[in-house]
Amino acid sequence: MNTQDENNNSNQIKKKKGLAIASLVLSIIGGYPWASTASIIAVICGHVALYKIKKHPDVYTGKGLAVAGLILGYLGLILAIILGIMRGLIKNKLGY
């Protein structure tokens, strides 16, 4: 009877995926030009989440969410850099 109770307890342990979800949400928010800081935080959360998932797979989950957050976070950063360069070029052309 003890083994059945132990199996039930191990099945009831919820895996944590908060950092992976935070990475995805922040990367979506960071896609807007005014929120590029959120992309930086999304990338950091995504890398931390992947590290924790790799080190403790029995406790943490959400690898797909973390990877999606990383991809969108890096795309948000690239977009912010491109828009910053374009803004600088336009200001330079117009003489601001």
Question: pLDDT 10s per residue in the chain (96 long)?
Answer: 455 555 555 555 778 899 999 999 999 888 776 678 899 999 999 999 999 999 999 999 999 999 999 999 999 999 889 988 998 888 888 876
pTM for this predicted structure:
0.78
Dist. CA 91–CA 54, nearest whole Å = 46
Q: For the chain, how many helices (H) and strands (E)? A: 4, 0
Task: Give strand ranges (E) for 6-46.
Answer: none
Dist. CA 25–CA 35, nearest whole Å = 12
